[in-house]
């Protein structure tokens, strides 16, 4: 839902049932993460291409989601900020890009995006709250995407579209159809052994950067001592 809100309510990209008829370049920064990967899947059913996807070790996973024949490509952030900016420009091949989904929103991500985003028509949505993002030029439209907006007491002056609840109601059902029909898939996951005793291992992996294109799952009933206490 975070991906859907960012794509359609914040960036105002074409909805799946009104798919794009002309190329619409879109930058997805953090493409191997869950939000980024779901944004790519939504872009596919909305015929939004070319997709310029920024990823690292999860690039092989992202490769399975994109369509090279439509100009989609992957830029490796591990090569450094300058290489990322140049890689995006090379992928655009002189074309302007006005839309960016920053599913990272730190470590230079939005600064890199703003070097290539259209300075007059640019629109970027970010996912980390509590930041001012002062480096983003005033001429570029920016917004914060948060799934919690689907539950807020919506007001006309809140900055949140008044149809967010209805939007979520519709898209959750569309996700269900997508899962059934196969065009929408869940993120890869790994079950950590030991139930809750495996949480520290998973946190360490996250801190050390070992987790890429994967979600960790903990089965509580596999925690030592839990079954005997039930």
The CATH code of the domain that includes 148 is 3.40.50.720
Instruction: Give the per-residue pLDDT at 13.
Output: 98
Question: What six digits make up the tokens of 199?
Answer: 């949480």
pLDDT, mean of residues 26-47: 98
User: Is residue 227 predicted with pLDDT exceeding 80?
Assistant: no
Same domain, residue pair 170 and 214? no
Domain carrying residue 203: 189-229
For the segment 201-222, what is each residue's pLDDT rounded down to a tens digit?
A: 999 999 998 888 999 999 999 9
Instruction: Give the per-residue pLDDT at 230.
Output: 47
Instruction: Give the per-residue pLDDT at 96.
Output: 97
Specify the number of domains making up the chain: 2
Decide: 139 and 122 in contact? Cβ < 8 Å: yes
Question: What six digits make up the tokens of 160?
Answer: 């949140």
**Residues 110, 89: Cα–Cα separation, whole Å:** 15
Phi, psi of 177 (to 5 degrees): -65, -40
Q: What is the pTM of this model?
A: 0.91
Same domain, residue pair 155 and 79? yes
Considering only CA atoms, which of 77, 82, 29 is closest in space to residue 51?
29
Q: What is the 3-state secondary structure (H, E, C) of the chain?
A: CHHHHHHHHHCCCCCHHHCCCCCCCEEEECCCCHHHHHHHHHHHHCCCCCEEEEECCCHHHHHCCCCHHHCCEEEEHHHCHHHHHHHHHHHHCCCCCCEEEECCCCCCHHHHHHHHCCCCCCEEEECCCCCCCCCCCCCCEEEECCHHHHCCCCCCCCCCCCCHHHHHHHHHHHHHHHHHHCCCCCCCEEECCCHHHHHHHHHHHHHCCCCCCCEEECCHHHCCCHHHHC
Instruction: Give the per-residue pLDDT at 163.
Output: 78
User: Is residue 164 predicted with pLDDT exceeding 70?
Assistant: yes
Same domain, residue pair 129 and 193? no
Same domain, residue pair 27 and 138? yes
Instruction: Give the per-residue pLDDT at 211.
Output: 87
Same domain, residue pair 142 and 207? no
Same domain, residue pair 97 and 196? no
Same domain, residue pair 108 and 150? yes
Instruction: Give the per-residue pLDDT at 159.
Output: 57
For the segment 56-78, what is each residue's pLDDT rounded down to a tens digit?
A: 999 999 999 999 999 999 999 99
For the segment 117-140, what is each residue's pLDDT rounded down to a tens digit?
A: 999 999 999 999 999 999 999 999
**Residues 230, 220: Cα–Cα separation, whole Å:** 12
User: Is residue 5 predicted with pLDDT exceeding 70?
Assistant: yes
Same domain, residue pair 80 and 121? yes
Q: What is the percentage of the chain residues whose pLDDT exceeds 90?
A: 88
Same domain, residue pair 131 and 215? no
Same domain, residue pair 112 and 160? yes
- The CA dihedral of 161, 163, 165, 170, to the nearest 10 degrees, is -130
């Amino acid at each position: 839902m975070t991906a859907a809100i960012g794509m359609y309510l914040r960036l105002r990209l074409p909805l799946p049932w009104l798919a794009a008829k002309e190329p619409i370049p879109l930058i997805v920064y953090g493409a191997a993460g869950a939000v980024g990967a779901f944004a790519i899947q939504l872009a596919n059913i909305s015929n939004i291409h070319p997709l310029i996807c920024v990823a690292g070790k999860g690039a092989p996973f992202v490769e399975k989601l994109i369509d090279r024949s439509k100009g989609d490509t992957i830029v490796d952030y591990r090569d450094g900020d300058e290489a990322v900016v140049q890689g995006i420009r090379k992928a655009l091949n002189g074309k302007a890009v006005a839309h960016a989904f920053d599913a990272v929103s730190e470590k230079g991500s939005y600064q890199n995006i703003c070097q290539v985003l259209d300075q007059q028509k640019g629109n970027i949505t970010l996912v980390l709250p509590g930041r001012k993002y002062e480096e983003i030029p005033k001429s570029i439209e920016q917004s914060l995407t948060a799934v919690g907006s689907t539950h807020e007491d919506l007001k006309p002056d809140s900055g949140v579209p008044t149809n967010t609840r209805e939007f979520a109601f519709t898209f959750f059902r569309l996700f269900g159809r997508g899962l059934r029909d196969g065009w929408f898939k869940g993120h890869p996951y790994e079950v950590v052994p030991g139930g809750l005793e495996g949480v520290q291992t998973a946190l360490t992996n996250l801190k050390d950067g070992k987790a890429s294109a994967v979600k960790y799952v903990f089965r509580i009933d596999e925690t030592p001592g839990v079954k005997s206490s039930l």
